[in-house]
Structure 1
Amino acid sequence: MRTSDFDYDLPEERIAQEPAAERDACRMLVMDRATGALEDRIFRDIYDYLEPGDLLVANETRVMPARLLGAKRGTGGAAEVFLLRESFGHGEASNTTAFWEVLVRPGKRLKPGAAVEFRDAAGNVALAAEIVDWVENAEKGERLARLATESYGTLDEAMHAVGHTPLPPYIKNYAGDEELYQTVFSTREKSAAAPTAGLHFTPELIARLKEKGVDWETVELEVGLDTFRIVDEEDPEKHRIHTEYYTVPQRVVDAIARTKECGGRVVAVGTTSVRSLESAWDAQAGELKARDREATSLYILPGYEFHVVDALVTNFHVPRSTLMMLVSAFSTRENIMAAYEHAIADEYRMLSFGDAMFIV
């Protein structure tokens, strides 16, 4: 197995630069995971493929306003701070102060001791980020920053006054509604990127599915920027996958148990839901267990045995990514590559704002 086995030619014009006009009116390529047989449908047709007793499990995380554009204190030079995750155990923390692991630009000018200020629409300094230290064992030069606000009641208010929803690097110049990069069922802001398979669901579609007898539950996985990362090593087993935090509540464990007992299918909405559910599987006990913000670095490659997930709603993924390997593990590499070849030839819209696959 080589990383190049999961490569494919992705024409730039096939990368969706904006969301579908209607979330559930995008296209959906349905693939039989065993045979590779394909059907071209519309996403809302998923109703026809789900049966009473099936269970959809989606990732309810919401994307943070993580991209902060400001100026370096003292020089006024342009600077960018990208919030990755809150970091604890470094000292004072309050409604107006917290420590975060961040990426910065320009990296050479934002070393420990430097500070960046961010102004709101009125021109007032709403938020400041002081670079405190380097993050230990970081691969991309991550810094530890102390965020603080004096002019807003809470840090959250200040972040929303100056922050922007980050989009994947392959989406250029999107100026539309940033809310369209959030799922309609998203809750707490914990992620640097959206769980994009969930973008296709509308409240009306979810309601119709529930009326049919399809159950709906949510987990939480805090999606990191490394979800877009291409695997550099030619031997994929040498790749060091990123760590993310996930939560699988007891109610989800109970719902999955009921579904399995009744012969229903557990349908994961997105690869982040897959990683959450499969990470929560206790191999020693042979059962699924509830988890509360635990770390996972589960790396799913072909040959992996799935213990929880029976079907998968997903988007089309970046070539040579760990997500290509995950979906190949859920079916076969040959089936996935044939499906992608079909999708590109038939002008499906690819990647985060693009169309969907339903692997059954």
Structure 2
Amino acid sequence: MQLSNFHYDIPDELIAATPPAVRGTSRLLVLDRQTGTITDRYYPDVVDYLQVGDVLVINDTKVIKARLITRKPSGGERELVLVEQHGAHDDWFRHKVIYRRKLIAGDVLTIGDDTLMVEKIIGNGIALIRSERNLLDIAAEHGTVPLPPYLGRDATAADNERYQTVFAREAGSVAAPTASLNMTESTLRQLRDKGVNVVYATLHVGLGTFLPIRVDDVAQHKMHQEYFSIPTATAAAIQSAKQSGHRVIALGTTITRTLEYAHQQILSQPPHAISGEADIFIYPGYKFKTIDALLTNFHMPESTVLMLTAAFAGWDKLKPAYQHAVCEKYKFFSYGDSMLIITQ
């Protein structure tokens, strides 16, 4: 299976550089994964496709303002991006960063009134830094959200709100679970009123999400690790849905990776809390064990998230759906429109 198999052409003008003026007003392409039938709807219409007893699983991670602009004593700028949280209790006083421009061990950097020390150069553009104050607090005061590179711009004050889901609560991600950006409290309320069980899990999204695949043979790609936790109540809801013939719907590829990585533990009795480091790479040929439907957005060509979506929908059905979206001028990527892949 070659990387080039997962290429498609996307005009630059269809890449959503900014979010829609009102959250939740995006378009929704509905793809029947069994027949390949495509239906054009709007995001709130997702309520029409979920039924009583279905379980919708959402990632409640919170994006931190991980991009920090620091200065050396000489006045030179050094950009740092905090690496996502790993483990239930990561050390935010001694933490890894991705850096631009030259750094060496022992360098002293300042940001506001805070001083950071470069403790170690790990390699591949990663360093270990030490701070006397919690880096999460420093980031909250002085940082900005690290927007995806393909947006080609720095974050604005508006991005601090819009590059964050309405249900974000567990700080630790350095990239948004972007399929969730279009979800609103109003739509969630309608789903709950209909009898859909809305539950949460956490996967802290890392910058590895945006790393390109650098091998031609897809099977040789090594996936990055991301920390996840699944509460007992969520595992119990999934078990109950499976036992009663209802569906499990993942809101996004981050939740999909979480649920598929931990599927054996999720389905083992009795229900219990689960946590770990997910490094599952899902591409066509994979047999899904947990999810029955996927609410996601439109992904970059030749990306790991596109391959996951192709594995679920079938590339023979997903590629025509993407071609339809291009023709109908849907907006693509993080701030763009959404897609529901489901059997109707």
Bin of the TM-score, shorter chain as denominator length: over 0.9
Residue-by-residue CA offset, 1:167-219 (whole Å, 9 max, x unaligned): 11111335351211100001021101000111111111111110110110011
Deviation at residue 334 of structure 1 after TM alignment: 1.4
Q: Which amino acid aligns with 2:181?
A: L
Asked if 1:129 corresponds to 2:116, the answer is yes
Deviation at residue 290 of structure 1 after TM alignment: 4.5
Q: Which amino acid aligns with 1:34?
A: Q
Between 1:195-204 and 1:156-165, the stretch displaced more is 156-165
Counterpart residue number, 2:7: 7
| SS of structure 1 residue aligned to 2:151 | coil
Structure 1 residues 284, 188: CA separation in 2 closer, same or farther (over 3 Å shift)?
closer
Taking the aligned partners of 1:56 and 1:279, their CA distance within structure 2 comes to 17
| SS of structure 2 residue aligned to 1:23 | coil
Counterpart residue number, 1:358: 340
Task: Report if the CA contact (8 A) 2:67-2:139 is conserved.
Answer: no
The counterpart of 2:171, out of the listed 177, 180, 189, is 189
Deviation at residue 247 of structure 1 after TM alignment: 0.8
Deviation at residue 83 of structure 1 after TM alignment: 0.2
Counterpart residue number, 1:35: 35
Asked if 1:175 corresponds to 2:170, the answer is no
Asked if 1:162 corresponds to 2:157, the answer is no
Counterpart residue number, 2:100: 105
Q: Which amino acid aligns with 2:143?
A: G
Task: Report if the CA contact (8 A) 2:31-2:340 is conserved.
Answer: yes
Taking the aligned partners of 2:36 and 2:240, their CA distance within structure 1 comes to 29
TM-score (norm 1): 0.89
Structure 1 residues 352, 260: CA separation in 2 closer, same or farther (over 3 Å shift)?
same
Taking the aligned partners of 1:238 and 1:288, their CA distance within structure 2 comes to 36
The counterpart of 1:114, out of the listed 104, 107, 111, is 107
The counterpart of 2:190, out of the listed 184, 208, 211, is 208
Counterpart residue number, 2:50: 50
Task: Report if the CA contact (8 A) 1:281-1:287 is conserved.
Answer: no
Taking the aligned partners of 1:318 and 1:277, their CA distance within structure 2 comes to 22
Task: Report if the CA contact (8 A) 2:179-2:297 is conserved.
Answer: yes
Asked if 1:336 corresponds to 2:329, the answer is no
Taking the aligned partners of 2:319 and 2:207, their CA distance within structure 1 comes to 25
Structural mapping, 1:191-340, within 5 Å: 191-282=173-264, 290=272, 292-340=274-322
Task: Report if the CA contact (8 A) 2:298-2:336 is conserved.
Answer: yes
Q: Which amino acid aligns with 1:98?
A: F
Taking the aligned partners of 2:45 and 2:115, their CA distance within structure 1 comes to 48
Counterpart residue number, 1:80: 79
Q: Which amino acid aligns with 2:147?
A: L
Task: Report if the CA contact (8 A) 2:64-2:136 is conserved.
Answer: no
Task: Report if the CA contact (8 A) 2:17-2:335 is conserved.
Answer: yes
Count of aligned pairs: 337
The counterpart of 2:127, out of the listed 120, 140, 143, is 143
Taking the aligned partners of 2:127 and 2:194, their CA distance within structure 1 comes to 49
Task: Report if the CA contact (8 A) 1:228-1:318 is conserved.
Answer: no
Structure 1 residues 227, 289: CA separation in 2 closer, same or farther (over 3 Å shift)?
farther
| SS of structure 1 residue aligned to 2:104 | coil
Task: Report if the CA contact (8 A) 2:213-2:302 is conserved.
Answer: yes
TM-score (norm 2): 0.93
Structure 1 residues 285, 21: CA separation in 2 closer, same or farther (over 3 Å shift)?
closer
Task: Report if the CA contact (8 A) 1:196-1:352 is conserved.
Answer: yes
Residue-by-residue CA offset, 1:306-348 (whole Å, 9 max, x unaligned): 1110000001001111111101110211111111111111100
Residue-by-residue CA offset, 1:93-142 (whole Å, 9 max, x unaligned): 6xxx7111101111x2x1111121112xxxxx1x222111133xx5x321
Task: Report if the CA contact (8 A) 1:86-1:101 is conserved.
Answer: no
Structure 1 residues 100, 265: CA separation in 2 closer, same or farther (over 3 Å shift)?
same
- Structure 2, unaligned runs of 5 or more: none
Deviation at residue 299 of structure 1 after TM alignment: 0.7
Counterpart residue number, 2:17: 17
Deviation at residue 22 of structure 1 after TM alignment: 2.0
Task: Report if the CA contact (8 A) 2:164-2:176 is conserved.
Answer: yes
Give the percent of matched residue pairs that are identical in Structure 1 and Structure 2.
38
Q: Which amino acid aligns with 2:83?
A: L
